[in-house]
Copies of this chain bind each other. A is one copy, B any other.
């Protein structure tokens, strides 16, 4: 006979486990529904849910993991001829040099052939942006450029300079600032199905 207050019987314990798990599964399902709802809302606003999923995955990775993953991908892609014009990233280079040696980035004494720390003069107007030494300045300038309606290709910073990316970030962020409808650039084209194998 079962003693009241004691879940001593095997069947009672089994039932207890199962009911507890069922309750937790119920909660889990509720959360999953909320996630779906949020994604549906984002989709309704024009965002691309697959991209969002990918970004969440990347954000979950630590910076070190992400760098390692990208470096490895780059190296393997290079071996297969899949770089497609994208130059090898810094981390990949560091790996190719033996992991310990400093990557000799753009500040390398050997020449810094392309990237300079100085802003680029606009060859048309001859006007030079003031020496925005910080990355944050570059970001603000990118936002300003977007507000002014200049083209995104007018980014004054050289490839490889972090301020170039910051300027791009500011530009992109600003380009949707006014709460208007999502620009078409953020939307996926529906029919980019089969355009030519990659092999």
Residues of chain A having any CB pair with chain B under 8 Å: 1-3, 6, 8-11, 13-15, 17-18, 20-22, 24-25, 27-28, 31-32, 34-35, 38-39, 41-42, 45, 47-48, 51-52, 54-56, 58-66, 68, 72-73, 75-90, 93, 95-99, 101, 103-105, 108, 110-111, 113-115, 120, 122-124, 147, 151-156, 158-160, 162, 164-166, 168-169, 171-179, 182-186, 188-189, 192-199
Contact = CB atoms under 8 A, between A and B. Distances in A.
24 contacts: A1-B177, A9-B173, A10-B79, A14-B52, A14-B76, A17-B38, A17-B39, A18-B80, A28-B28, A54-B73, A58-B77, A59-B82, A65-B193, A68-B192, A72-B186, A72-B188, A85-B165, A88-B172, A96-B152, A96-B171, A105-B153, A114-B114, A158-B159, A159-B159
Report, nearest first, the 5 A-B pairs whose CB atoms are least far apart. A10-B176, A8-B179, A159-B159, A64-B195, A111-B123
A166 B88 CA distance: 10
Contacts of A168: 78, 83, 87-88
